[in-house]
Structure 1
Amino acid sequence: MFITVRYGANCREMVNLQCRVLILTAHMKSKCQCRPDDCIDLLDETGTLMNLSKVENPASEFASKYLRERERYILIRIIRGESSEATCYESLLENLGKHHPDLADRLQQLSANAQMRHQWRRGSLQRRAQPLTSTPARPRPTSQSKKSSEFKGTPR
């Protein structure tokens, strides 16, 4: 059971799926010369993010649980902003647009969606923090006051 991971200047690495997620990501970090504290993940050729970076216990979970045998994946770096929602996805395969134009667009969408979620949450928090400055509502006529106005001959 293996997968092919593409990165760098069109480099390919065959990886055994019968290993822990932690081992797979550490191996790929060393191959593509990432820093140990970089967050990496895989994107399949349909544009689906595999979310290996969100595996709860990567030291005990096998990669075969999350990845499909004989598939090809693109190595990506996840760059998180100040908050966990502000996220940017960067391809570690050079010239991704040349090899996979749809995947380059997909990475931009993923990054934009993460930023939009962050801005929406930040904006909604700001809206909640602002005091309400609306005009008081007019009292609605009750059924009793409607009936009395009908008898007086006044329009509603």
Structure 2
Amino acid sequence: MNIQLKHGADRLLFGMKESDVKALYGEPDRKYKDEDKNVIYLYNDKKVRLTFYQDEEFRLGYIITANNACKVFDEKVIGEEWSAIMPKLEAKGIRAFEKENFDSVDNYFNEANWVIFQVEFGEVIRIELGATINARDEFDWKF
């Protein structure tokens, strides 16, 4: 599963509708609505959580994955040491990270690419990726 910053992951592109995702991945293992009435899909085999934004005509706007095959810039990420991944990201121009701590987890957030690397015990355990906002203060849909 390749992460394409600002675009999506695997064959998923930000802006897809539920029917587009089902055409690629089939029915989700679980589907529910969050407190904001966004639709959430869980695909267990892919270890991915997809959020379709209610206020954006249910377009795919957020992806969370813990898939061990996940790559960023063709580099394996999940299960790798953050201290080894961060320099590789910086070499590709992904430099500004805001760090937040939650119990044993550190979140490294890069706003320009709307990506969060979750790190526990020094190892990347999860990636959160969101659709970015353009200069007109609108989502920059890729689909």
Q: Normalising by structure 1, report the TM-score.
A: 0.26
Name the one with the larger strand percent: 2
Q: Which has the higher helix share?
A: 1
Which has the greater radius of gyration? Answer: 1
TM norm structure 2: 0.28
